[in-house]
Amino acid sequence: MRIVRTVAGMRAAVADARAKGASVGLVPTMGALHDGHLSLIRRARAENDLVVMSLFVNPTQFGPSEDLDAYPRDEARDVELAGHAGADIVFAPSVDEVYPRGFSTTVHVAGITEVLDGAHRGASHFDGVATVVTKLFQMVAPDAAYFGQKDAQQVLVIQRLVRDLDMPVRIVPCPIVREPDGLAMSSRNVYLDAAARAQATALNRALDAAEAAVAQGRTDAPAVIGAARDVLAGAGVEAEYLELRSPDDLRTLDRVDGAALLAVAARVGRARLIDNRILEAAP
């Protein structure tokens, strides 16, 4: 297991592996690893010869009022966990290495970045994600890249980016990993105190309630969203958004007819949490 900090070093390591015929899998992260990240590394390990995990807290995807400075950082712990899960290289560049003086390019994916997290975190959030992921793909040149489905909108944005810019990388969305009580794993869960941690389970329970409504044939958006909202209200959680959208292009849906994405975001204690579920109506 090696730590690489420069773009030149990263390119050299991949060129060396490719010369031996190796396939390359990339797991982009901002560190503060949890079992969700480790599941991505294990999947990449199972499918590639060389596994690179990037560890970079990307400043351009944080809004001015967000938690960039407070974002949990523990490189030594992350490197150890990544190694145990099967990463060969941790690519941990500095901010200056990724955004050298004079950097002035932004990658913007239109049409699917203005809603949900884009509407609530600010339009520049997904520009920051799209720009850094484009750069990571240029630096590492992976065959495949692994992303968690908890960030469903992020996965769609990256799939669109790769398609539109003809990037030769396969995007592999991976299932949400949950705590035993259903809370989706997130680096931001460390911000939850005991009371907020208990409240936070309402997000997954709300999605369960929506799924149960659909299973009972209540497929119109007000019924589905209402079932979820009742659970959130019962736990004293106010949604930042709770919306039913197409899983393909995020257009608003007025009913579950085929697959539908129910996406939720809420502030719970000091944490901003997101979760989602694909709902499917019986044919």
Q: Closest separation between CB of residue 247 and ligand PAF, Å?
A: 18
Q: Closest separation between CB of residue 15 and ligand PAF, Å?
A: 23
Query: Is the distance from CB of 24 to CB of 142 less than 8 angstroms?
Result: yes
Closest CA to 75 of 3, 147, 138, 146: 3
- Told to check if 224 binds ligand PAF by CB under 6 A, we report no
Q: Which amino acid is at 257?
A: D
**Within 10 Å of residue 51's Cβ, how many Cβ atoms?**
27
Dihedral, CA atoms, 13, 14, 20, 21, nearest 10 degrees? 170
Pick the stretch among 28-36, 112-120, 164-172, 224-232 that binds ligand PAF (CB under 6 A).
Answer: 28-36
Closest CA to 137 of 146, 149, 124, 127: 146
Nearer to ligand PAF, 48 or 58 (CB): 58
- Told to check if 127 binds ligand PAF by CB under 6 A, we report no
Pick the stretch among 87-95, 96-104, 125-133, 274-282 that binds ligand PAF (CB under 6 A).
Answer: 125-133
Binding residue for ligand PAF, selected from 78, 151, 211, 243, defined by CB under 6 A: 151
Query: Is the distance from CB of 50 to CB of 41 less than 8 angstroms?
Result: no
Give me the active site residues, please.
Answer: 37
- Told to check if 202 binds ligand PAF by CB under 6 A, we report no
Pick the stretch among 67-75, 90-98, 129-137, 230-238 that binds ligand PAF (CB under 6 A).
Answer: 129-137
Q: Closest separation between CB of residue 57 and ligand PAF, Å?
A: 8
- Told to check if 133 binds ligand PAF by CB under 6 A, we report yes
- In 3-state terms, what secondary structure has residue 100? coil
Nearer to ligand PAF, 61 or 189 (CB): 61
Binding residue for ligand PAF, selected from 41, 51, 132, 225, defined by CB under 6 A: 132
- Give the Cα separation of 88 and 166 in Å (integer): 27
- Told to check if 87 binds ligand PAF by CB under 6 A, we report no
Nearer to ligand PAF, 45 or 188 (CB): 188
- Told to check if 201 binds ligand PAF by CB under 6 A, we report no
> Long-range contacts of range 229-234, CB-CB < 8 Å, 24 or more positions apart?
231/202, 231/205, 231/206, 232/202, 232/203, 232/206, 232/264, 232/266, 234/202
Q: Closest separation between CB of residue 132 and ligand PAF, Å?
A: 5
Helix 75-85 and helix 35-47, axial crossing angle in degrees, nearest 10: 40
Work out the angle at residue 134's Cα, subtended by the Cα atoms of residues 128 and 135, and round it to the nearest 5 degrees: 90
Site residues, ligand PAF (CB under 6 A):
28-30, 58, 61, 129, 132-133, 151, 154
